[in-house]
Amino acid sequence: MSDADSFIDEVTEEVRRDRMYLLLRRWGWVGVVAVVAIVGGAAFNEYRKARDTNQAEALGDAILSALAENESTGRAASLQVVDAASAGGDAVLGMLLAASQAGAGAEQDAVNSLNAIATQGDLPEIYRAIASFKALLLQTDTMPVADRRQQFEALAIPGAPLRLLAEEQLALIDVAEGNTQAALDRLQALRQDAEASVDLQQRAAQLIIALGGNPEPVAAQQG
């Protein structure tokens, strides 16, 4: 390589370095901001995880402490003062409170607690459905049959999280109303449902036999 070529290469390299330094001076702050954002974001995520973990542990400890009470009335009183600090936690806490209230004989208070959860629009559907289902079970002897049927039918619509359990309750209402054939048809369909658990299929079969029917073989489910 000639001296001229070497000189040209050196000059080119200098120009490249000058341009790089200029770009760094002009835009280097962007990289700094990006690094700070990444590090800060990671730190915030860790803080949030730690905070959520601490809150969950504190809620769990408070619930366990309340449930350690020997009497249902004492458990209910202790659960009422627990602060869940989240909508989902409030829902779980409310269901435990309702169970304690029902155990203490205050069934209407339990129903009220469950209905408060069932009508809380910002909760996921599964929480509201469970609360509504439990409230209906507690009112088996007090709510008119027509009203219970209507509400269980609302829980049994396609895609509802407790659809199959609601269908089972509707079959029991059919039995209570003396409509044996409707109950048998509903129970046979329940046994054939692809989403039905083994326990639910067995309960349906037992009720079919008790009603004088013959459980149809469950169709093989394709995986």
Mean pLDDT of 123-148: 93
Question: Among candidates 148, 166, 170, which has minimal Cα distance to 158?
Answer: 166
Q: Select from 135, 63, 48 the least CA-distant residue to 98.
A: 135
Higher pLDDT, 73 or 188: 188
Q: What is the pLDDT of residues 181-220, one digit of tens each?
A: 999 999 999 999 999 999 999 999 999 999 999 999 887 6
Provide φ and ψ at 193, rounded to 5°.
-65, 130
Q: Is the pLDDT of residue 24 over 90?
A: no
Read off the amino acid at residue 213: G
pTM of the model: 0.65
State residue 96's pLDDT score.
81
Confidence band, pLDDT 50/70/90 cuts, at residue 91 = confident
